[in-house]
Amino acid sequence: MAPETRAAGGQSPISVRRALLLAIAIIVAAVFFLIYPRFFGSGAGTSPATGSGSVAPNGAPANVNSTHTGSAGAAPVAVIVAVAARQTIPITNTSIGLMEAVETVVVRTRADGLVLAQPVIEGQLVKAGDVLLKLDDLPAQAVIAKDQAQIAKDQATAASANADLAGIQSLATKQVDSQQQLYQAQAAAKVAESVIGVDQAQLQTDQLTLGYMTITAAIDGRVGTVNTSVGNIVHAADTSADGLLTITKMSTLRASFSVAERDLRSFRTALAKNKSLPVQILIPGDTKPIAIGTLAFIDSSVDPTSGTLVVKADVDNSARQLWPGEYVSAVTQLGAYTDATTVPLIAVQAGDSGAFVFAVGADQKVKKQPVTVVATVDDTAVLGPEIKPGDHVVVEGQLRLADGSSVKQTIQGPPDAVAASQTSTPPQTSSSAVGGTPVDGDLPTASTAVPQPSANPVAIAN
């Protein structure tokens, strides 16, 4: 084999070519790793999103395929807000009650007799003294006639005894008759007079029996089920629960309901301040009171088995809209929160540390403001001093918000309130506002709007 030809310096041409090829390969690889991230979004080099060429410890780029989610530079979140208001909120207690009749009469007969007439019908409204039933009074009239005849007979006997007494007294003065005969004549006259008294008492008794033959109404009210009819014989000894019929006074009813023992003090305090404490009566499912009553009775003891006590209210039922035995909702107005700060209940959110709202500041950014919920009335929340009247709180769009998010707000509410709010800058949330002071004696009048039974203003529900 021919000897290898060497270039100057002692290196062969093959070694030089290998070195050149290796150098070219290194240069191409370096160029590839520098250019690839700029065109394909990966690899080492400067990141367009961050403007830096930081590399992770393992050699991978730091912010590969990352998206910036911070609030800086983000578009404002469209939300709907409501304006906190200052209101007087009634403090009420809502309970399920039962209407009761104040007066109910079970009509019975006080004498035996045959029913001859029934002038009244079921469901009829009657007045005290109206005839309900008429019984056969011929036997009673016959007895009265006999009594009168007996009285006439006994009066004649008495007259004869008195005449005999007068004659004996005349002879006794002349000493013709003895004193013994005088005493006997006097006794006979007295016996005859007393017999007349017995006869007259018997006549009065029989006249009462005759009066019992006509059964009249004892009170004003509505006739219930009539349990007899013409042709039946009724007996005074009949003690059935329903009697012949019932009469129920309908013009005034009483609402009876139970309240929890914890509410006793509130009821007593309110009643002490207002003797005509109003109680509004609603039919379940209705939104407006059907009648307004006055608290009349608080039971003298608490039922230890249930921890409740009975409360009753007298209700004017002149319009006949309520019925005894009917279930109702009784709303008792115990006081009011005066100058209370209120917001829509939907604005209040629940967090790990308690309730909060998103309050919109003057810079159109929201603040996650913790709040104290004093009470709830339907879809309205009474808040503590953390929110003041005029503050804007988010009522729709809270899920897209974080503390400090920029927002584009649309004000919810009546057109005049929206216009007034849009002409002014929303105030900053302040802790100096007063959320409302409960005043037991500041009771709403009967014309005050009634909260729905389904949502109790101060959660005093039973």
- The residue among 206, 197, 196, 236 whose CA lies nearest residue 141 is 206
In a domain, 4, yes or no: no
* Residues ≥6 apart with Cβ < 8 Å to 178: 172
Express each pLDDT in 348-370 by its tens digit: 999 888 999 999 999 999 999 99
In a domain, 402, yes or no: yes
197 and 231 both lie in a single domain: no
Contact 113, 135 (CB under 8 A): yes
280 and 357 both lie in a single domain: no
Express each pLDDT in 370-386 by its tens digit: 999 998 887 899 999 99
Please tell me the predicted confidence (pLDDT) of residue 389: 94
Q: What is the CATH number of the domain that holds 230?
A: 2.40.50.100
231 and 266 both lie in a single domain: no
In a domain, 68, yes or no: no
- Determine the Cα angle at 333 with ends 328 and 334, to 5°: 130
Express each pLDDT in 102-125 by its tens digit: 999 999 999 999 999 999 999 999
271 and 281 both lie in a single domain: yes
Containing H/E element for 373? Answer: strand 373-377
* Residues ≥6 apart with Cβ < 8 Å to 32: none
Query: What's the CA gap between 398 and 406, in Å, rounded?
Result: 12
In a domain, 69, yes or no: no
Task: Please return the burial class of 245, using the count of CB atoms within 10 Å of its CB with bins 0-12, 13-18 and 19+.
Answer: buried
Q: What domain range is 279 assigned to?
A: 94-102+247-332
What are the start-end ranges of the H helices in 244-324?
264-273
Query: What's the CA gap between 5 and 14, in Å, rounded?
Result: 10
β-pair partners for 81: 394, 411
What is residue 380's DSSP assignment?
A: E
Could you tell me which residue, 24 or 181, shows the higher pLDDT?
A: 24
307 and 352 both lie in a single domain: no
259 and 323 both lie in a single domain: yes
Number of domains in the chain: 5
Contact 343, 357 (CB under 8 A): yes
Express each pLDDT in 207-263 by its tens digit: 999 999 999 999 999 999 999 999 999 999 998 889 999 999 999 999 999 999 999
In a domain, 390, yes or no: yes
Express each pLDDT in 430-450 by its tens digit: 333 334 545 444 433 333 333
Please tell me the predicted confidence (pLDDT) of residue 83: 95
Against a cut of 0.85, is the pTM above it?
Answer: no
254 and 367 both lie in a single domain: no
289 and 406 both lie in a single domain: no
In a domain, 328, yes or no: yes
457 and 414 both lie in a single domain: yes
Average pLDDT of the chain to the nearest whole number: 80
In a domain, 116, yes or no: yes
- Angle (deg, nearest 10), helices 179-212 and 138-173: 160
pLDDT at 163 over 60: yes
323 and 290 both lie in a single domain: yes
pLDDT at 451 over 60: no
Q: What is the CATH number of the domain that holds 451?
A: 2.40.420.20
User: Got the DSSP string for 154-198?
Assistant: HHHHHHHHHHHHHHHHHHHHTT-S-HHHHHHHHHHHHHHHHHHHH
410 and 367 both lie in a single domain: yes
Domain boundary among 300, 332, 364: 332
Domain boundary among 187, 212, 237: 212
Please tell me the predicted confidence (pLDDT) of residue 69: 38
In a domain, 63, yes or no: no
42 and 165 both lie in a single domain: no
Please tell me the predicted confidence (pLDDT) of residue 178: 66
